[in-house]
Amino acid sequence: MKSARLRRQDGLIREAIWLFVIVAIIAVVVLDGLALFHANQSVRDAAAGAANEARNAYSQSPTLASARLAAQDYLASNGDTFVKMTTSQAADGTIAFSVTAKAHADTYAFKYLRYVGLKKWVQQTSNPAVTRSSDNSSL
C-alpha cells in the first residue's frame, strides 16, 4: 500500500517536470519569435526615418555627404547599422533618398539552429536588412 502511494507521487512529479519543460520550450520559442519580429519592424521604421532625415539634411545643406551623415546618425541613435544610401532624381527634379539599414535580433535559442545546418537562414533571419526611400515606400 505504501509503495502504490509512492508510485503515484513519482508519476505526479514526472508529469509536473514534463509540463515545466514543455512550458519553458514554448516560452523560449515565443520570446525568440517576438525578438525577431521586433527587430524586423524596428529596422523598417528606422530605415524610413533615416531616409527622411537624409532628405531633410539635404534640403538644409545640399550636399550628399551631409545627407549620408544624417542618415548614419539617425540609425546609430536607434542602434541599427547603416549599410548604404542611394539617390534618384524624379522628372520634376526632386531627389529621393533610399537608405538600407540592418538590425540584429538577440535570441535565446534561435541562434543555435546554425549548428544544425541552417547557418545562412539563421544569419538572414536574425539580421534583417531593409531598404526604404524618403517617400516611405519600399524598393
Owning domain of residue 119? 2-133
Rounded Cα gap, residues 53 and 55, in angstroms: 5
Q: Confirm if 58 and 52 have CB atoms less than 8 A apart.
A: no
At residue 33, the pLDDT reads: 93
Beta strands in 90-128 (DSSP E): 95-102
Q: Is residue 100 part of a domain?
A: yes
In terms of Cβ atoms closer than 10 Å to its own Cβ (0-12, 13-18, 19+), residue 51 is: buried
Return per-residue pLDDT of the chain as tens, 139 residues: 555 555 556 677 888 899 999 999 999 999 999 999 999 999 999 999 999 999 999 989 888 999 999 999 999 998 899 999 999 887 887 888 999 999 999 888 988 888 888 889 888 888 888 888 876 443 3
Strands 129-133 and 95-102: antiparallel
Domain count across the chain: 1
Q: Is residue 66 part of a domain?
A: yes
Q: Is residue 45 part of a domain?
A: yes
Q: Is residue 58 part of a domain?
A: yes
At residue 7, the pLDDT reads: 55
Task: Please name the residue that has the C-alpha cell 509540463.
Answer: 19
Sheet containing strand 81-89, strands side by side: 81-89, 95-102, 129-133
Q: Which amino acid is at 93?
A: G
At residue 53, the pLDDT reads: 92
Q: Is residue 128 part of a domain?
A: yes
At residue 13, the pLDDT reads: 82
At residue 135, the pLDDT reads: 67
User: What share of residues in the chain are helix, strand, coil (percent, to 5)?
Assistant: 65, 15, 20
Q: Is residue 56 part of a domain?
A: yes
Number of H helices, E strands in the chain: 3, 3
pTM score of the predicted model: 0.74
Q: Is residue 114 part of a domain?
A: yes
